[in-house]
Structures are given as C-alpha cells and as structure tokens.
Structure 1
C-alpha cells in the first residue's frame, strides 16, 4: 500500500531518438498539478543515472497516474519513493517502466544518511 503523502521521484530516461517524446512528456508534467517539481533534462550521467534523464517529484497519491502517463509514452523510467535509504529507493523499493538501466549505486548515500543533498520538492533545488 502506497502512503498517499509519501514523497516519490520518477526518472525518465531517453536517448536521441526518444528526446522529442521525453520533451513532450516533460512539458505535460510541467502543467500537471499533481507534479511538484520537474527537473531539467540532462544529456549525460547524473548521480546514479548513467544516461540522459530528468526527474519529476510527486506524492504517493499520484503514483498510479504518473506510472500510467509514462507507460503510455513507451519511455523507460525508474519510479521510487524517497526514504532514508537511497540504495533501497533505487533498487528494492523501485519500480521500473520498460527496460531497466544499470545504475551506479556506488554514488548513493548509505542507509539512514542523506549527505545534505536536498532530495524533494521545489524548495530543495
């Protein structure tokens, strides 16, 4: 059961051929009241994510709608909660849409530690 007030991220991955679809999805999320933050599109590795991606932030209540919206595009994505365990968030607690991307989990904070890096919501960025 998903806590409706729990913070979540989705990382939407794209390659050059998928950039237009990723941009269209990002634009749609920018106008969706359920989405609390839409990140910039990155063209390379960022944190544990080895390929181009961007992230969106939302609450647990929006997970089904966000997942359905991403699935409709055919893009790959990682959807995960934000807990005090970055590794679990990106692995055992994560839900992949499409083909998973091999993450660099060595850069994630150890369980119970957030090394001062803001992780959720507009005010964190």
Structure 2
C-alpha cells in the first residue's frame, strides 16, 4: 500500500481547442482543499512536456479523486508519484489518462536526484 502522504503530480495536457476544458478543470482544482498546488497554464513545451500543460500536486490519498475529476473531461493527463527516480516517475510508475504524450525523457533528472520532490507543492516549471 502506498503511503497516503506520498507526493503525486498530475500533468494536464491540452491543445488550443481543449484549453477551455483545461481552464474549467484547473478552476475546479483550485477550489479543492485536497489539492496542494495548481500550476500556471503553460501554453508551450516545457521540460519533458512537448505540449501545453499544467501541474496539479496532491497526496496519494487523493489519487483516485484526482483521476475521477480528470477522466470525464476528455483531457489527456499523466499522473505519477514523486520518488527519487524522475525517469521512472514519468514512465514506468506513471498512469496515463487518455492518449499518451511522447515526453522528452532526456531532460529528466537522473535516479537519486529528483528536483520535482524539492518543488512539490511550491512551484511549477
């Protein structure tokens, strides 16, 4: 069983036509007390993410509720834990909602050093 206090991220992806749905979902997340941080909408590629996205930070105990909020929107999302292995977090430990996005994994931190853990709940890309 996962520690209920383990940190998680969701990356919500959108294209220009999906932006209104992404904004509506983002607004819902900003009102949810279980969500620790909602990042700015980034309308360009950033980090390993080749298309527009924003981050949502939450604890493992909210995992199922976050997935349930994203799924009916039709938006694509990557949901993953934050461990000491950034590559695994974004690949083998990740859960995709909708069609997967081809990430640029070459920019991810090496195992044992995950800057995402340090910025959990506090900053976006």
Measured after TM superposition, the shift of residue 119 of structure 1 is: 2.8
Cα RMSD after superposing both structures: 1.5
Q: Tell me the alpha carbon deviations over residues 19-40 of structure 1, each in whole angstroms, 9 at most, x when there is no partner.
A: 0000000000000000000000
SS at match of 1:84: coil
Tell me the distance in 2 between the aligned counterparts of 1:4 and 1:116.
Answer: 18
* Normalised TM-score (structure 2): 0.94
Structure 2 CA distance for partners of 1:117 and 1:3, relative to 1, 3 Å: closer
Query: d(CA) in 1 for partners of 2:115 and 2:2?
Result: 26
After superposing the two structures, state which structure 1 stretch, 111-120 or 9-18, moved more: 111-120
Deviations 1:63-105 (A, max 9, x none): 0000010001110000000000000000000000000000000
Alpha-carbon distance between aligned partners in 1 of 2:103 and 2:22, rounded to the nearest angstrom: 19
1:42-81 alpha-carbon deviations (Å, 9 max, x no partner):
0111110000000000000000000010001110000000
In structure 1, what is the Cα distance between the partners aligned to 2:27 and 2:92?
29
8 A contact 2:82–2:117 mirrored in 1: no
The within-5 A match list for 1:1-125 is: 1-114=1-114, 118-122=118-122, 124=123
Change (3 A) 1:41 1:115: closer
Q: Write the distance in 2 (CA, Å) between the matches of 1:36 and 1:94.
A: 19
Q: Which runs of 5+ in 1 are unaligned?
A: none
4+ runs deviating over 2 angstroms: 114-119
